[in-house]
Amino acid sequence: MTAPLNPVVEKFVTALNEHDRDRFYGLLTEDATMSDDGVERNLAQWTDSEVFDSNGRMRIEDVVDGGTELVADYTNTRWGSMRTNWRFMVRDDKIFRFETGQA
């Protein structure tokens, strides 16, 4: 059985899947950072390209590390479907960093 998600991470996944930009960015600190496959990315440019402009969706397969790490089937119109790892760093009910990459 998959462990429960951290509440902030759960809200992030829901906002991403519902393409709710305001709610999505509201869960991030103003100085939030991210990486994709180990490469630092501009968070706004990456999320526009990989999530909002390409109908990104995440289907969670497994959750570990207290609900802050997960494996998901990630699908968008740019790349299709791929198995991905996600790791979130949360402080004061906000995500200050997330890292993703192919699993």
**Strands, sheet with 39-41, edge to edge from the N-terminal-most edge strand:** 39-41, 28-36, 94-102, 80-91, 69-76, 57-64
CB environment 11-32: b (16+ within 10 A), e (fewer): bbbebbeeeeeeebeebbeeeb
Domain boundaries defined on the chain: 7-102
**Structure token digits, residue 3:** 């462990």
Q: How far is CA 5 from CA 27, 53, 55, in A?
A: 15, 26, 22
Segment 24-36, tens digit of pLDDT: 999 999 999 999 9
Per-residue model confidence (pLDDT) at position 95: 98
Give the pLDDT mean for 60-86: 95
pTM, whole model, 2 decimals? 0.94
Fold of 7-102: Nuclear Transport Factor 2; Chain: A, (3.10.450)
| Cα–Cα distance measured from residue 65 to residue 67, given in angstroms and rounded to the nearest whole number | 5
Tell me the two tokens of residue 79: 């790349």
Q: How far is CA 33 from CA 22, 80, 93, in A?
A: 17, 24, 16
Mean pLDDT of the chain: 95
* Residue 54 burial by Cβ neighbours in a 10 Å radius (0-12, 13-18, 19+): middle
Whole-number pLDDT of residue 65: 83
Chain segment 28-59, per-residue pLDDT in tens: 999 999 999 999 999 999 999 999 999 999 99
pLDDT per position as a tens digit, 9-18: 999 999 999 9
